[in-house]
Structure 1
């Protein structure tokens, strides 16, 4: 436990010293685009931002604004057609920068014209319920942080509030589950990669979900097992528990309709859209370990784009 906390603290202190923004400059566009909206830069590129969460200090996130949005049509200082927003959550003992480099969402955002936000967890962790690390021990309200982040960007008119999607890897995937459990009204769909549902969940309304899991994952075992945290020896539930849970919430049948696969080792099955417009797609990666699969971001975006509205 001491080693994990010290590593997380060192990483957090190092990140705290990085406060510069990146991008192509702060000037507005000749098409009526302001330099900033509610303090959020609108120029193309990736911008490091701080967010007030009502406590001592602040939280940080990276916001990638693609050229298609920055150079597109603007009306009254807002995008004429607000784009979708994808929030991508890093794994435990990782950072927003690592998630940005690992996931590949920047390239997809440039191609398809959506915003991507990469938030930083607390001391490199997320409070996903029964996991993980410093965020769980400190009872950090990450649901509130991510809700404020969504409201900040959509409230500024920079993204469509009905096209907000949350995805994550490992601990971040568990956090995506928790957001869908506690703030389903904010989210159209979630994308879960190598994560577990380890929080009490009673969403009250369905959320579309795309779930990836490798059969050889030793950190979050496919069939369940391992330990939920360094101080919690209870096993992770099997991935089937989460698939079945979101299927039942949506009133959906067993997933059995094949969709495009990543490779010969990956088999994806979907329930198809139900009466409420939601779907659950599950991708099993035979022999896959605890890693972000090549091509997962493209499949996730295709799923998000086909489920543009809540419920």
Structure 2
């Protein structure tokens, strides 16, 4: 059961909960172990975030943070049910924060991703919201600001991608699943990205996962106007942005291959796992939570792979 909502203003530490039990500990920010729902104010709106703090958290240190953004027409709790990133957080000792979009949709909420149809007058500024969320948890002592990472599914992956385009100084790596973008299509539905819509000031480490039979965001491109260029074009564009010089293809399992773009300054590598026959799903995730979205491969675990990737990089303040 979720705890009562905890009101937290941006850049202000969270209000402490009751003391942990004898076999528990908590991060120094005051959020106790387990799942908590908090609200923060961003752009004069109260925004909802579901946070999981591992029971192995230590009072004396801030923990890594992984954002987990839900897909379109979804919610934070559904996202965690799909990805099980809270279980990985518990095992590996990081905080996972699943924020909620603010644009209502029939089955939940959607994100206001810049340069798409949701980016309309009066829509919430979700780039600013993610800034405020990160600032709240870092400034409040919960999170190590050099170890902030962002994952997202589908529309959440598109939101994470654009956030990295605009604020690479805030995320050490991103992991979009079935949603990597490198800016908007050059024109609606275009097969190439518009370079003017993704101009990060530094390279961003990227790990991403795509199924070749994705029925929502087609692997080869096409689909909805916001999608346009395909999954390989997105990772290739990030490789160009990051200044990578070499590419290596590796067979990981019978139906999974890995494309790695290497030789990138500041080790800003780009890894793309391609699931042959995979659907619009989260590899290794809860297959029952993706009805009608195609195959959810269990040959790899997106959670394990992204966390291993995240651990290899931190933000430099230089």
Aligned pairs for 1:112-261 within 5 A: 112-122=92-102, 123=104, 124-131=109-116, 133=118, 138-197=122-181, 198-199=183-184, 200-228=197-225, 236-256=228-248, 258=250, 261=252
Contact 2:164-2:204 within 8 A present in 1 as well: yes
Distance 2:120 2:248 in 1: 36
The structure-2 alpha-carbon separation of the partners of 1:179 and 1:195, relative to structure 1 and needing over 3 Å to count, comes to: same
Deviation at 1:275, TM superposition (A): 3.3
Aligned pairs for 1:1-12 within 5 A: none
Is residue 98 from structure 1 mapped to residue 98 from structure 2 by the alignment?
Answer: no
Contact 1:45-1:65 within 8 A present in 2 as well: yes
Distance 1:132 1:19 in 2: 35
Contact 2:220-2:229 within 8 A present in 1 as well: yes
Contact 1:196-1:239 within 8 A present in 2 as well: yes
**Superposed CA offset, 1:197-224 (max 9, x none):** 2431111211000011111112111111
Contact 1:215-1:286 within 8 A present in 2 as well: yes
TM superposition outliers: structure 1 runs of 4+ over 6 Å: 33-37
Gaps of 5+ in 1: 1-17, 75-79, 230-234
Structure 2 equivalent of residue 53 of structure 1: 42
Structure 2 equivalent of residue 77 of structure 1: none
Is residue 109 from structure 1 mapped to residue 89 from structure 2 by the alignment?
Answer: yes
Distance 1:89 1:265 in 2: 26
Deviation at 1:180, TM superposition (A): 0.3
Alignment size in residue pairs: 272
Contact 2:43-2:125 within 8 A present in 1 as well: no
Deviation at 1:274, TM superposition (A): 3.0
How does the TM-score come out when normalised to structure 2?
A: 0.78
Contact 1:208-1:278 within 8 A present in 2 as well: yes
Deviation at 1:47, TM superposition (A): 0.3
Is residue 85 from structure 1 mapped to residue 65 from structure 2 by the alignment?
Answer: yes
Distance 1:284 1:137 in 2: 37
Deviation at 1:132, TM superposition (A): 5.5
Matched residue SS, 1:109: helix
Matched residue SS, 2:314: coil
How does the TM-score come out when normalised to structure 1?
A: 0.80
Structure 2 equivalent of residue 65 of structure 1: 53
Gaps of 5+ in 2: 7-15, 185-196, 285-300
RMSD: 2.7
Deviation at 1:104, TM superposition (A): 1.4
Which is strand-richer, 1 or 2?
2
Distance 2:88 2:209 in 1: 19
Which is helix-richer, 1 or 2?
1
Distance 2:202 2:148 in 1: 16
